[in-house]
Amino acid sequence: MQLTVLGCYGPFPPAGGACSGYLLQEDNCNLLIDCGNGVFSRLQEYTDYRELDAVLLSHLHPDHISDLMVMRYAFAFAEQGTLRQKPLPVFAPGEPEQEFERLPYKDVYEVHPLQVEESLQIGPFTIETLAGVHPVPSLSLRFRTSSGLFVYSGDTEYHSSLEKFASDADLFLCEANYREIDIQDGLPNHLSASQAAQIASKAAVKRLLLTHHYPENEQADALVEARKHFPDSELAREGEIYTVK
């Protein structure tokens, strides 16, 4: 299993950066996880977008879905030119309803509501979901194949059930938008790097990859916080490819 970080910032990117988007691949199956601004351009550096098998959206905030609104034009032209013969499956939480209803476009996307504690199979991937704690319905996602286990937190505050969900993951991609001082000040909706590392430690994951970086923070500070609790913490970096095994 191979994970390529296309974008890792939120809720907005720095100059030259991109918001959340990750390409997960195994056995010629290509999944795009989240599709924030800047992601579609980056995707094309690593694969032909027409070879995507599905898109999975953790939630419907713009920094996780905005490029889906641009990518649909590319798929519309691909269908006209017979370069792609079927709609692209898109799985996403069904709420907020008005945002979910914006996802379909002509016949290029086949949009499916993704439920809490749902299980589905796409190619070699068995995919499971867990509810996060966020202002809109948000899902953590777990991907298992014969080669390994990959877990993505999505956007969420701390909740203890995430520890069990991430248990024994070969790679845990976890948001770390805040620093611990932000949590102490009562900021809601996201995890700190310290919290992400504590979850990783309790879940006994093999590797922790911190993501959803706030672009105006020093990322080295997040790593210092995280490594106090989980020494094998790393920062997700755009363009990097990680093997999950």
**pLDDT recorded at residue 81:** 62
Peptide bond just before 93 cis, omega within 30 deg: no
Can you tell me the distance from the alpha carbon of 188 to that of 158, in angstroms, rounded to the nearest whole number?
Answer: 10
Domains of the chain: 2-243 (3.60.15.10)
Q: What is the pLDDT along the chain (245 residues), one digit of tens a residue?
A: 999 999 999 999 999 999 999 999 999 999 999 999 999 999 999 999 999 999 999 999 999 999 999 999 999 988 766 666 789 999 999 999 999 999 999 889 999 999 999 999 999 999 999 999 999 999 999 999 999 999 999 999 999 999 999 999 999 999 999 999 999 999 999 999 999 999 999 999 999 999 999 999 999 999 999 999 999 999 999 999 999 99
**pLDDT recorded at residue 85:** 75
**Residue reference for tokens 């979901």:** 129
Can you tell me the distance from the alpha carbon of 187 to that of 135, in angstroms, rounded to the nearest whole number?
Answer: 13
**pLDDT recorded at residue 155:** 98
DSSP state string for the chain: -EEEEEE-B-SS--TT--BSEEEEEETTEEEEEEE-TTHHHHHTTTS-GGG--EEE-S---HHHHTTHHHHHHHHHHHHHTTS--SPEEEEE---SHHHHTTS--TTTEEEEEPPTT-EEEETTEEEEEEE--SSS--EEEEEEETTEEEEE--S----THHHHHTTT-SEEEEE--B-HHHHHTT--SS-BHHHHHHHHHHHT-S-EEEESB-TTS-HHHHHHHHHTT-TTEEE--TT-EEE--
**pLDDT recorded at residue 78:** 82
